[in-house]
Amino acid sequence: MSSRSFDVVVIGAGIVGCAVACWCARAGLRVLVLERDGVATGTSGACMGHIMVNPEPEPLYRLTRRSVTLWQELRDRHPELHYLACGALWLAESDADLPLLQGLDRAIAGHGDRAWLLDARELHRREPALAPDLPGAWFYPDDAVVLPMQACGVLLGEAVRLGATVCTHTPATGVRLGPGSRIEAVRTPEGEVATAHVVVAAGVWTPAVHRQLGLPPVPIFPRRGDLAITAPFATPVHTQLLEVAYLRTATGKTIDPEGSEPDPGANAMNVQPQTHGTCLIGMTRQFGGLDRTLHPELLQRSLARAARFVPALLDAPVVRTWAGLRPYTKDKLPFVGPVPEIPGLHLAAGHEGLGITLAPVTGELVAQAITGQAPSLPMAPLGLARGAAGARHG
């Protein structure tokens, strides 16, 4: 490996690094992926797989919409991809939630996109296992569910077939900079690899990687999520389900991850059928550093909430529970693209709860930046400069 030179070295083989490798290899670049552990052993192996269009805010709509379209192209290109074209139902718990559904509908219509408001009868016809008192929902048809670990394999497999090299159990331990702080090489325990471009796709470990490599600080904070999964063929529902109050938990006012107050954590109902008939049940959110220990009380609240919306889940056999760490940024947008102070350095990290969704568009944008093509979407909202205020603790 160290005797060869590469056009680009990707640090991290989670879903984002795998997508970056895939799109860079498609662009004809010679790609090396360095992963300190195994493929998908970080957050991408400990999460849900909802491929999701976010109606708001505008930059997130454009990113998620573009990425969902790229996922659909991946599904067509790779029949082996476990892709469940199930759509998503955003559920109202009571009449008080109905204005939130209408808000989603107005937002999506404003983009010229399509979705449906369902009344109680239409909702229960679509999903008979839902609690009978739910008054309605908003259905977005293009959302889907993938198995994140398998998706990593599909993306990386395509990259390898196009000539990419993957080194697992090989951490990046340093970079060598040349004149003008330009990237010249990446150091690993196996030796130095010459390259003109480095993409840091290390999820919640990106701040640590930057510190270790002497690169500019990046304000990304780990936000834990606890999950449970049922036995195969035990899912009582067939559509991705979220309670519409999720909007408040996921994108509303949140605890300051740098504050001194401990985060009590939050939860909302998120029920996800998978291709094998398993059902993933989430979701919780809590800041608490890099500790991946499950929080049983929060998960219990989450399971109770799921049973409120899908009573049959009370009887579904839960076979495994675990926790993963979302790479959170304060404005809830990822850092994607070049870092101007270090020519040749690119970021692809900080996707919080949307990293599976946003991996393809991230791969596309990074490959475009490296090859000097015009970006398919505006890059300014994704630049590191916007996070400068929080960077001191990165």
Q: How many CB atoms lie within 10 A of CB 251?
A: 15
Q: Which is nearer to ligand FAD, 43 or 136 (CB)?
A: 43
Stretch that binds ligand FAD, among 6-14, 80-88, 125-133, 251-259 (CB under 6 A): 6-14
Say whether residue 149 binds ligand FAD (CB under 6 A). no
Cβ atoms within 10 A of the Cβ of 140, count? 22
Q: Kindly identify the residues of this chain, within the stretch 288-347, that bind ligand FAD according to CB under 6 A.
A: 324-327
Structure tokens at 338: 């070049």
d(CA 325, CA 223): 5
Q: How far is the CB of 306 from ligand FAD (least distance, A)?
A: 14
* Least gap, CB of 336 to ligand FAD (angstroms): 11
Cα 168 to Cα 190: distance, rounded to the nearest angstrom? 12
Q: Which of 2, 312, 273 is nearest to 128 (CA)?
A: 312
* Contacts (Cβ under 8 Å, ≥6 apart) of 390: 219, 258, 330
Q: How far apart are CB 296 and ligand FAD at their closest, in Å?
A: 15
Q: Contact between 48 and ligand FAD (CB under 6 A)? A: yes
Which member of 8, 9, 13, 137 binds ligand FAD (CB under 6 A)? 13
Q: How far apart are CB 298 and ligand FAD at their closest, in Å? A: 11
The residue (of 41 and 150) whose beta carbon lies closer to ligand FAD is 41
With a CB cutoff of 8 Å and minimum separation 6, the contacts of 328 are 220, 221, 222, 223, 257, 287, 350, 352
Residue 36 found at the interface with ligand FAD (CB under 6 A): yes
234 is an interface residue for ligand FAD by CB under 6 A: no
Do 366 and 348 form a contact (C-beta atoms < 8 A)? yes
Q: Minimum CB separation from ligand FAD for residue 180, in Å?
A: 24
Task: Name residue 124's amino acid.
Answer: H
- Partner residues linked to 225 by β-bridges: 324
Q: Tell me which H or E stretch contains 50.
A: strand 50-51
* Residues 175-194 close enough to bind ligand FAD by CB under 6 A: none
**Smaller CB separation from ligand FAD, 136 or 228:** 228
Number of residues that bind ligand FAD (CB under 6 A): 43
Q: Which residues bind ligand FAD (CB under 6 A)?
A: 11-17, 34-37, 41-44, 46-50, 171-172, 201-203, 205, 209, 225, 227, 282-283, 324-327, 349, 351-357
